[in-house]
Amino acid sequence: MAAEKKTAFVSGSGRNIGRSIAVALAAQGINVVVNGGRNRAACEETAELCRQQGVQALVAMGDVGRSEEVKTIAEAALAQFGTVDIVVNNAAIRPTKPFLEIEEAAWKHVIETNLYSAFYANRAFLPGMVAKKWGRIVNFSGMNAIHGYGGGGSAISASKHGLWGMTKALAKEFGPAGVTVNIVSPGPIRKADGSAGGHHGGSEELSRIPVGRVGEPEDIGALVVFLCSDGGGFITGQMIASNGGLQT
């Protein structure tokens, strides 16, 4: 990491992968803006774990799928830290329903939460990155999201494909300003309750993972730390899978 103190905004960082990312960044001396939509207690726990790493942590609650709420979050973050140098767009929802049955409002909610949230957050914090000529944006996809969800996941795939397009476009637009933009695609990652998020995690699937285990949230945290480091500065416009070698 560069010597100057940096600040990261991590959406959906109250638990699981988001919490791991926030704490991993804090361990590198990076201040963290912790965000969640409803569970303030979980976000406060994440913030305390970050503070234990010797950094500042701000809890900024709000629905990142809503423009006005992201503006409020950004105002609070910028008031405390001046700039936000790293944006990790982790928040997402993954409801499934057959395409011919999904209500328009439900489809819109998925797109707003998974795609528009990154649009709002990136727009809020990119000016500061450009001014400093240094910035990192990490968006999040998923294995099935890009290959196409069966079983009623069309809205998820649509939102994640949009994120992938945004990632490639922003990498080209803001690369000259010193900002890298990448997208992480996790495989089956263990949740706090022990289940493997997005996957059954059974013995049949486990046998298809070359490394012989499901991932841990810390695996994703470590990857994000690298992408957000100075050492990751030559990586941009890429989708990086962390899935133990599992092929879809």
pLDDT(166) > 50 = yes
Contact 184, 139 (CB under 8 A): yes
What CATH number does residue 156 fall under?
3.40.50.720
What is the span of the domain harbouring residue 89? Answer: 7-242
CA dihedral 148, 154, 155, 157 (to 10 degrees): 10
pLDDT in tens, 206-240: 778 999 999 999 999 999 999 999 999 999 999 99
pLDDT(60) > 70 = yes
Number of domains in the chain: 1
In what order do the strands lie in the sheet containing 239-242? 57-59, 31-34, 7-10, 86-89, 135-140, 179-186, 239-242
Q: What is the pLDDT confidence band of residue 52, given thresholds at 50, 70 and 90? A: very high
C-alpha–C-alpha distance, residues 10 and 112, integer Å? 17
C-alpha–C-alpha distance, residues 167 and 183, integer Å? 7
pLDDT(199) > 60 = no
pLDDT in tens, 85-98: 999 999 999 999 99
pLDDT(202) > 70 = no
| Residue in the block written with tokens 């699981």 | 16
DSSP per-residue string spanning 88-151: EE---------TTT--HHHHHHHHIIIIIHHHHHHHHHHHHHHHHT-EEEEEE--HHHHH---S
| pLDDT number for residue 203 | 53
Determine, yes or no, domain membership for 35.
Answer: yes
What is this structure's pTM?
0.93
| pLDDT number for residue 201 | 45
Q: Which of 202, 191, 198, 188 is nearest to 245 (CA)?
A: 188
| pLDDT number for residue 74 | 98
Collapsing DSSP to helix, strand or coil, 70 comes out as helix
C-alpha angle 69/40/93, rounded to 5°? Answer: 65
Distances (CA, A) of 195 to 133, 165, 199: 41, 30, 8
Mean pLDDT of the region 15-24? 97
Determine, yes or no, domain membership for 218.
Answer: yes
Q: What is the pLDDT confidence band of residue 2, given thresholds at 50, 70 and 90? A: very low
pLDDT(109) > 70 = yes
Residues in the chain: 248
Determine, yes or no, domain membership for 176.
Answer: yes
pLDDT(200) > 50 = no
Mean model confidence pLDDT for the chain: 92
| pLDDT number for residue 205 | 66
CA dihedral 45, 49, 52, 53 (to 10 degrees): -150
pLDDT(12) > 90 = yes
Determine, yes or no, domain membership for 248.
Answer: no
pLDDT(1) > 70 = no
Q: What is the pLDDT confidence band of residue 195, given thresholds at 50, 70 and 90? A: low
3 state SS for 40-56: HHHHHHHHHHHHCCCCC
Query: Would you state the structure tokens that stand for residue 191, as one six-digit string?
Result: 């949740």
Determine, yes or no, domain membership for 78.
Answer: yes
Q: What does the longest C-alpha to C-alpha distance in the chain come to?
A: 53
C-alpha–C-alpha distance, residues 109 and 139, integer Å? 18
| pLDDT number for residue 246 | 87
| pLDDT number for residue 3 | 53
Determine, yes or no, domain membership for 247.
Answer: no
Determine, yes or no, domain membership for 37.
Answer: yes
C-alpha–C-alpha distance, residues 127 and 139, integer Å? 18
Mean pLDDT of the region 113-123? 98
